[in-house]
Amino acid sequence: MVSKMIKQRFSILVLLLILLTFSLGFLKEEAKNMEVPSLKEAYKDYFPIGAAVNHLNIYTYEDLLKKHFNSLTPENQMKWEVIHPKPYVYDFGPADEIVDFAMKNGMKVRGHTLVWHNQTPGWVYAGTKDEILARLKEHIKEVVGHYKGKVYAWDVVNEALSDNPNEFLRKAPWYDICGEEVIEKAFIWAHEADPDAKLFYNDYNLEDPIKREKAYRLVKKLKDKGVPIHGIGIQGHWTLAWPTPKMLEDSIKRFAELGVEVQVTEFDISIYYDRNENNNFKVPPEDRLERQAQLYKEAFAILRKYKGIVTGVTFWGVADDYTWLYFWPVRGREDYPLLFDKNHNPKKAFWEIVKF
């Protein structure tokens, strides 16, 4: 009898201990979550904080997106080959999923992108210049029209400038066949399709002094002609070595002279010093994460300084378990360019930009 009672008490004690351990773990987890401040809240007096996502990421990153971001950019789903794969055939499905998620959660959407030399099917360039322009006009009317009132800003033209210092526009069918006219027309037609949308010229390496001046020249010409253009998107694909935050500041100041807004539209900082560095880190080295965090910190101090001119900052991804850098320029190489690690926990870079 006595031993039965002892056994009973012992089992109750064990049960209580198990319960206690569980609730402590739960409380610890809760406390951890509570301690992580919201990035979008920290920046509410500055600019929206965006992330590029695909239509699956909205589920895999749902919690991070809802807590930290108030703007989304479809990473590929509004590009021509996805949204308009065949003549007169539009597939809005994947992009709609992202836009619906954004609308449900009170987020803004950046549209990306209407004119680009990549991810555009060959049939788009068939025929004469007039036929190509007519095709583009229909495309813009359909796509911008479909998202009227939902997409607040469009990357109308993406990466039109050449990387060759002696060449202005890049060698690509859009510009070889239609010249600068295609850029002007794209902005005009996008404005016709949604007069309230902010229209951006978007490009990479705009921190580079030569490319910076090319963008200045291009946008100045458009402005002088009265073409509706409201902003310049500096993509912001950085390495640990290039560019410097100072170069970013110089570009913001230069573009501000044109009276346009500036956004960082595709921010990420690779863990490598060189795009072709001969390393593949299975675990990111501490010193590199530290340097990455310092670069983000300095960049964000500049972005905050130009609040009002800088009207948005978007990261090209959410957490290090999914980034386009796994596929480029070295296929299969690990990289860790974002604010959250592979387990979706905040990295040093996150803490450096959220506390100021």
Of 82 and 302, the one with the shorter C-beta distance to ligand 9MR is 82
Taking the C-alpha atoms of residue 351 and residue 345, their distance in angstroms, rounded to an integer, is 11
- Minimum distance between the CB of residue 27 and ligand 9MR, rounded to whole angstroms? 39
8 Å CB contact between 283 and 303: no
Q: Nearest 5°: phi and psi at 244?
A: -100, 155
Q: Determine if 56 is a binding residue for ligand 9MR (CB under 6 A).
A: no
Tell me how crowded residue 181 is: count the other CB atoms within 10 A of its CB: 12
Q: Determine if 268 is a binding residue for ligand 9MR (CB under 6 A).
A: no
Q: How many residues bind ligand 9MR (CB under 6 A)?
A: 9
Q: Determine if 324 is a binding residue for ligand 9MR (CB under 6 A).
A: yes
Q: Where are the alpha helices (DSSP H) in the chain?
A: 2-35, 39-42, 57-60, 62-68, 80-83, 93-104, 129-146, 173-178, 181-193, 209-224, 245-256, 286-305, 348-354
Task: Pick the catalytic residue from 207, 249, 266, 352.
Answer: 266
Taking the C-alpha atoms of residue 273 and residue 286, their distance in angstroms, rounded to an integer, is 14
Is 29 one of the annotated active-site residues of the chain?
Answer: no
8 Å CB contact between 189 and 175: no
Q: Is 41 left (phi over 0), alpha (psi -120 to 50) or beta?
A: alpha
8 Å CB contact between 280 and 334: yes
- Minimum distance between the CB of residue 286 and ligand 9MR, rounded to whole angstroms? 27
Taking alpha carbons only, the member of 344, 345, 325 closest to residue 334 is: 325
- Pick the binder of ligand 9MR from 8, 23, 33, 119 (CB under 6 A): 119
Q: Determine if 75 is a binding residue for ligand 9MR (CB under 6 A).
A: yes
Site for ligand 9MR in 158-197 (CB under 6 A): 158
Site for ligand 9MR in 194-213 (CB under 6 A): 204
Taking the C-alpha atoms of residue 41 and residue 238, their distance in angstroms, rounded to an integer, is 25
Q: Which residue has the tokens 């788009």?
A: 124
Site for ligand 9MR in 142-161 (CB under 6 A): 158
- Pick the binder of ligand 9MR from 11, 21, 33, 118 (CB under 6 A): 118
Task: Pick the catalytic residue from 75, 97, 159, 249.
Answer: 159
Sorted by sequence, the CB contacts under 8 Å of residue 45 that are 6+ apart come out as 307
Taking the C-alpha atoms of residue 198 and residue 32, their distance in angstroms, rounded to an integer, is 38
Q: Determine if 76 is a binding residue for ligand 9MR (CB under 6 A).
A: yes
Of 38 and 162, the one with the shorter C-beta distance to ligand 9MR is 162
Taking the C-alpha atoms of residue 180 and residue 218, their distance in angstroms, rounded to an integer, is 9
Per-residue contact track with ligand 9MR, 216 to 255, x per CB under 6 A? -------------------x--------------------
Of 324 and 351, the one with the shorter C-beta distance to ligand 9MR is 324
**Residue closest to ligand 9MR when measured from CB atoms:** 324
Is 266 one of the annotated active-site residues of the chain?
Answer: yes
Q: Determine if 266 is a binding residue for ligand 9MR (CB under 6 A).
A: yes
Of 268 and 352, the one with the shorter C-beta distance to ligand 9MR is 268
Q: Determine if 320 is a binding residue for ligand 9MR (CB under 6 A).
A: no
Of 160 and 354, the one with the shorter C-beta distance to ligand 9MR is 160
8 Å CB contact between 266 and 300: no
Q: Buried b / exposed e across 268-300, counting CB within 10 Å, b at 16+?
A: bbbbbeeeebeeeeeebeeebbebbbebbbbbb
Q: Determine if 77 is a binding residue for ligand 9MR (CB under 6 A).
A: no
- Minimum distance between the CB of residue 131 and ligand 9MR, rounded to whole angstroms? 25
For ligand 9MR, the binding residues (CB under 6 A) are: 75-76, 118-119, 158, 204, 235, 266, 324
What are the residue numbers of the active site? 159, 266
